[in-house]
Amino acid sequence: MSRNVFRRVVERRGLPHRLTPVVFAFYMSAIMAFLMCLVITAANSGIGPGYIDSAWRAYKLAMPVAFVCVLIVRPVVVRLVTLTIERNQE
């Protein structure tokens, strides 16, 4: 592979910038849903045999729901942050 071809491959890796909100929603929902499933499963059933399996079953339901929710709620949160933070930084 010539140097120019390699350089183009390296520079083009990743998704287009316009997908930033979707990628953000995916990572945020994946991490938060996982952590919440671990905590809620532990609170409801305790940490014992089958804990990881129970948390995983909950996560398989929670992750897609969380992803859609973050996509919907993100613009509202951005607006609320804009309204909450001072405009002038002096």
pTM beyond 0.75, yes or no: no
Q: Using CA atoms, how far apart are residues 43 and 51, in angstroms rounded to an integer?
A: 11
**Residues counted in the chain:** 90
What is the extent of the structural domain holding 35? 16-84
Q: Write out pLDDT tens, residues 22-52.
A: 999 999 999 999 999 999 999 999 999 999 9
Cβ 66 vs Cβ 32: under 8 Å: yes
Cβ 27 vs Cβ 66: under 8 Å: no
Output the CA torsion sign for 69, 73, 77, 80.
negative
Tell whether 64 is covered by a domain: yes
Tell whether 11 is covered by a domain: no
Which tokens go with 52? Answer: 């990881």
Q: Using CA atoms, how far apart are residues 70 and 58, in angstroms rounded to an integer?
A: 18
Count how many domains the chain has. 1
Tell whether 9 is covered by a domain: no
* pLDDT of amino acid 56: 96
Tell whether 25 is covered by a domain: yes
> What is the band of 87 on the pLDDT scale with cuts at 50, 70, 90?
confident
* pLDDT of amino acid 4: 73
> What is the band of 88 on the pLDDT scale with cuts at 50, 70, 90?
confident
Cβ 66 vs Cβ 17: under 8 Å: no
